[in-house]
Amino acid sequence: MADATIWWLLAGGAIVAELLTGTFYLLMLALGLGAAALAAHAGAGSVLQLLVAALVGGGAVNTWRMVQGRRSRAMPASENPDVNLDVGATVQVDAWNPDATASVKYRGAQWTVVHRSGQAPSTGAHTIVEIIGSRLVVEKS
């Protein structure tokens, strides 16, 4: 069996494995395997084919990791207004309890409210900045 055929079969196997596992990095390695197959078609020796596979596949993986590292991390769902539509809503806090909690009526139910750390509790309108379990974390509007 020709070297190029073996490389193409390995590349196809990596793509199938990626489809079964969802590991995007296997596609990057499949690029390296495909590059090695092209090198085999060009008449390169076995050592050069392995070198091409390693450099292209490893380079693609490293490039993808750098691209992913530069992207901003997604905020947690408890703070993300795209996931949790209550984030950004306003509630009225009439009084704070001694344990730094308050009880407010929001969307027809009683909720326990805590203020964001580093802020002193005060009465008035507050904005929901996070939801942790059944507690609303708020900051002064």
- Residue ranges per domain, the chain? 3-70, 90-140
- Note the pLDDT of residue 28: 95
More confident residue, 15 or 79: 15
pLDDT mean across residues, the chain: 91
Q: In this structure, are residues 119 and 95 in contact, taking their beta carbons and an 8 Å threshold?
A: no
Indicate if the pLDDT at residue 75 is higher than 80.
Answer: no
Q: Which two tokens stand for residue 15?
A: 């793509």
Q: What CATH number is given for 90-140 in this structure?
A: 2.40.50.140
Residue 124 β-bridge partners: 93
Nearest-angstrom CA–CA distance, 6 and 9 = 5
More confident residue, 30 or 134: 30
Percentage of the chain exceeding pLDDT 90: 65
Nearest-angstrom CA–CA distance, 10 and 29 = 10
Indicate if the pLDDT at residue 37 is higher than 90.
Answer: yes
Indicate if the pLDDT at residue 19 is higher than 90.
Answer: yes
Where would I find the beta strands (DSSP E) of the chain?
Answer: 90-93, 101-106, 109-115, 124-132, 135-140
Strand 90-93 relative to strand 101-106, pairing: unpaired
What is the value of pTM for the model shown?
0.55
